[in-house]
Chains A and B, each alone.
Chain A
Amino acid sequence: MRARSKTARRKRTVGFLGDLYAILIYTVLYIPVVVMMAFSFNDQRYNYYWNGFTTKWYGYLLENDALIGSLWYSIVIAVLATVISVVVGTLGALGLKRFEFHGKKMINSMLYVPIIVPEIVLAVALLILFMNVGMSLGMGAILIGHCTFCIPYAVVTIKGRISGDGNSLEEASMDLGANRIQTFFRVTLPSIFPGVMSAAFLSFTLSIDDVVMSNMLAGARNTTLPVLILSMNKAGVTPDVNALTTIMIVVLVAAMLLSNGVKALLRRRERRLERGE
C-alpha cells in the first residue's frame, strides 16, 4: 500500500516537473514573437530601447513604399510557388506512389536533396545554372528556387495521405463510367484533400519566409520582404516592419484556424459517408 502511494507521489512529481519544463521551452520559443510584437508599438524611430506606447507605425506602414512593395513581391511569389508546388506535388505524389518506372528510385532520393542539403548550396547551384544559361535573375528565378524546395515538401506531405490499399475506389469510379479526369476530381482529390491543404499551407509559409534563396537569386531592383529585412539589419530594423510582421502572423494564425475548421468538417463528412448516410 505504502509502495503504491510512493510511486503515485513520484509520478505526480515527475508530471509536475514535466509541465514546468514544457512551459519553460514554450516560453523560450514565444519570447522572440512577443518581443517582436511589443516593439511594433514602440515610440522610437529605430528599435534600440523602449520609449513609450504608440500605434502610429501601423499607419506609417502604409506609406512605406519599399516595405509594401517588397511585401507584394513576396506574396505574389509565395502564391505562385504554392500553386505550382501543389499541382506538381499532388500529381507527383500520386504518380510516385502508384506507378513503377525506370529512375523512380532516383527521383525519390532527389526529392530529399532540397529538404536536407543546406539551402545555400541549392541557391548557389541554381545561381550558377541560371547565369550559365543566360537567364536573368529576379522574380522568375526566385520562383523556380522556391518551387524547388516546396515541391519536395508537398510530395512528402501528400504522399502520406494516399492510402496504401491502392486504387480500388478509382477503379470502381471508372468502371461506373467516369473518365480519368472526372475520377481525379471527384474521387482521388477529395480523398487526399487534407494533405493537399497542408502542402499548400507549408509551401506558402516556406516561400514567404525564405531569405537564402531569394537573396541569392534576387534581381537588381525588387526584393522580397525577408531580403529587405536582412539588408535593414545593419542600420537597425524599424518598428513599421515589426507592425507588418505582427499583422502577418495574426493573418497566418487565422488562416490556420480556418483550415483546421475546414479539415474537421471534411473529416466529419467522411465519417458520415463511411456510415453510409
Chain B
Amino acid sequence: MGKKDACRSQGKTRRQRDLRRRALPALAQAGPVSLWMILFVTLPMLYIIYISFMCRGVCGDVVCEFTTESYATLLDPTYFKVILKSMKVAAFTTVACLVLGYPFAYYIARKPADKAARLIMLIMIPFWTNSLMRLNSWLLLFQTSGPVNNFLQWAGLTDKPIMFVYTDPLVMLGLVTNMLPFAVLPLYSSIEKLQNSLLEASSDLGATPRETFFRITLPLTFPGIFSAVILVFIPSLGIYTVSDMLGGGKVLYIGNIIKNQFGAIRNWPLGAALSVLLLVITGLLIFLYTRFAKLEDMEVV
C-alpha cells in the first residue's frame, strides 16, 4: 500500500518509466490467464446466451432468428416439473449436507491444527477414487439382491426385496455423499477462525451453551454456511452423472435434460436456455453472497 502511494506522488517521467518497466512483466504474467478466461469462459458464456434466443432448425441445426420460444418451452409442464424437482432435490441435498456437515466441521475445527489437517486429508482421500465407481458401489450395495436387501430380509424387516435402485432416494444418497466435503470444507474454515475468547466471554456472561451457539457461533460462521450452500446447491442442480448412474435414465434432472438436448435430441437452443437458467440462478446466489462476504474469501479449495 505504502508503495503505491509513493508511486503516485512521484513525477510523471518516473511513472512512465515505471510503466514500461512493469508493463511487460505484467503482460507476461497476467496475459495468458486473462486471454484464457476471455476466450474460453467469457466468450462461450456470451455465445450460449445468444444461442438460447435462436430458433431450432428442421434437422436439429440452429437458425439465426431471434425468438424466445426456448424460454417459453421451459414453462411447459413437462420441463417445468423437472426444473422444480431438480430445485427440490438440490435444496434437500444442501440442507442435508449442512445438517450433517456442521457438527462434523465443528468437531474437526476444535482439534489441534495438525490433527485437524490430517482429518481434513482423510475426507479428501475417498474423493480421489473415480466418482462414478463410488456411485457404482452404492448401486452394488442397494441392488435387489445386494447386501442391504439381504440384511433387511435376514433381519425380518421386509419380506420382499425393496427396489432401491433407479429411485430418487438412492440418487439423493449419492448426491449427499458426493457433496458433503464441499459443505464441510468451507464450514470448517469459518468455524476454525472463530475465536475461543468470544465463546468464553459469552459463557462467562451467563449464556447457556445453546444461547452461545445461536447468538455467537452461528452468526459468525454464516459466511461459511453461505459458501457451503453455494458450493453444494449449484453443482447439485446441474449434475447428471449421479442421476445417470443411480437413476438408470429413469430419474431426470436439469443436467440430464441439458445433456440430452446436446446429444440425441439435438435441440441446442432449448439446452442453451436451460443452461442460461442455471447461470441466472448461480448469478443470483453469488450476488446475495457478495452482499455480506467477499468472493475471494469463499473457500473453494
- Kindly state the separation between the CA atoms of A132 and B272 in the bound complex, as whole angstroms: 14
Interface residues as binary, B114-130 with A (CB distance below 8 Å gives 1, 0 otherwise): 00000101110111111
Pair B301/A153 contact, Cβ less than 8 Å: yes
**B262 partner, pick from A98, A211, A216, beta carbons under 8 A:** A216
In B201-240, the 8 Å CB interface with A consists of 230-231, 234-235, 237-240
- Kindly state the separation between the CA atoms of A202 and B128 in the bound complex, as whole angstroms: 10
Q: Please indicate the chain A residues that have their CB under 8 angstroms from the CB of B231 in the complex.
A: 116
Pair A29/B123 contact, Cβ less than 8 Å: yes
Question: Is A177 located at the chain interface by the 8 A CB criterion?
Answer: no
**A104 partner, pick from B30, B38, B138, beta carbons under 8 A:** B30
Question: Is A36 located at the chain interface by the 8 A CB criterion?
Answer: yes
Interface residues as binary, B268-291 with A (CB distance below 8 Å gives 1, 0 otherwise): 100110010011001000100000
Pair B32/A248 contact, Cβ less than 8 Å: no
**A237 partner, pick from B22, B133, B286, beta carbons under 8 A:** B133
Pair B40/A31 contact, Cβ less than 8 Å: no
Question: Is B29 located at the chain interface by the 8 A CB criterion?
Answer: yes
Pair A31/B137 contact, Cβ less than 8 Å: yes
Pair A88/B129 contact, Cβ less than 8 Å: no
Pair A120/B258 contact, Cβ less than 8 Å: yes
Question: Is A219 located at the chain interface by the 8 A CB criterion?
Answer: no
Q: Please indicate the chain A residues that have their CB under 8 angstroms from the CB of B30 in the complex.
A: 91-92, 95-96, 99, 101, 104, 107
Q: For this complex, into which size category does the number of interface residues on chain A fall? A: 35 or more
The stretch of A18-26, A58-66, A75-83, A266-274 in contact with B is A18-26
Question: Is B131 located at the chain interface by the 8 A CB criterion?
Answer: yes
Interface residues as binary, B134-147 with A (CB distance below 8 Å gives 1, 0 otherwise): 11111011010110
Pair B136/A233 contact, Cβ less than 8 Å: yes
* Contact status of A125 and B137, CB under 8 A, knowing A88-B36, A202-B301, A253-B125: no
Query: Interface size (B, Cβ < 8 Å)?
Result: 85
Pair B275/A35 contact, Cβ less than 8 Å: no
Q: How far is the CB of A138 from chain B (nearest CB, A)?
A: 16
Interface residues as binary, A32-69 with B (CB distance below 8 Å gives 1, 0 otherwise): 11011001000000011100000000000000000000
Q: Please indicate the chain A residues that have their CB under 8 angstroms from the CB of B100 in the complex.
A: 25
Q: How far is the CB of A129 from chain B (nearest CB, A)?
A: 4
Q: How far is the CB of B219 from chain A (nearest CB, A)?
A: 22
Question: Is B25 located at the chain interface by the 8 A CB criterion?
Answer: yes
Question: Is B155 located at the chain interface by the 8 A CB criterion?
Answer: no
- Kindly state the separation between the CA atoms of A19 and B33 in the bound complex, as whole angstroms: 44
* Contact status of A124 and B130, CB under 8 A, knowing A26-B122, A110-B37, A151-B33: no
- Kindly state the separation between the CA atoms of A86 and B278 in the bound complex, as whole angstroms: 29
Q: Please indicate the chain B residues that have their CB under 8 angstroms from the CB of A103 in the complex.
A: 34
Pair B133/A229 contact, Cβ less than 8 Å: yes
Which residue of chain B has its CB nearest to the CB of A92?
A: B33
In A214-250, the 8 Å CB interface with B consists of 215-216, 225-226, 229-230, 233-234, 237, 241-242, 245, 248-249
Interface residues as binary, B14-54 with A (CB distance below 8 Å gives 1, 0 otherwise): 00000000100110111111101110111111011001000
* Contact status of A49 and B146, CB under 8 A, knowing A22-B104, A118-B238, A156-B301: yes
Question: Is A5 located at the chain interface by the 8 A CB criterion?
Answer: no
Given contacts A110-B41, A233-B136, 9 further A-B contacts (CB under 8 A): A18-B107, A26-B123, A29-B180, A30-B126, A47-B136, A118-B282, A121-B275, A209-B130, A237-B136
A-B contact pairs, 8 of them (CB 8 A): A32-B135, A36-B137, A98-B26, A112-B286, A119-B235, A144-B40, A212-B240, A212-B241
Q: Which 7 A-B pairs have the closest CB atoms?
A: A118-B238, A92-B33, A95-B30, A95-B29, A125-B44, A32-B134, A35-B137
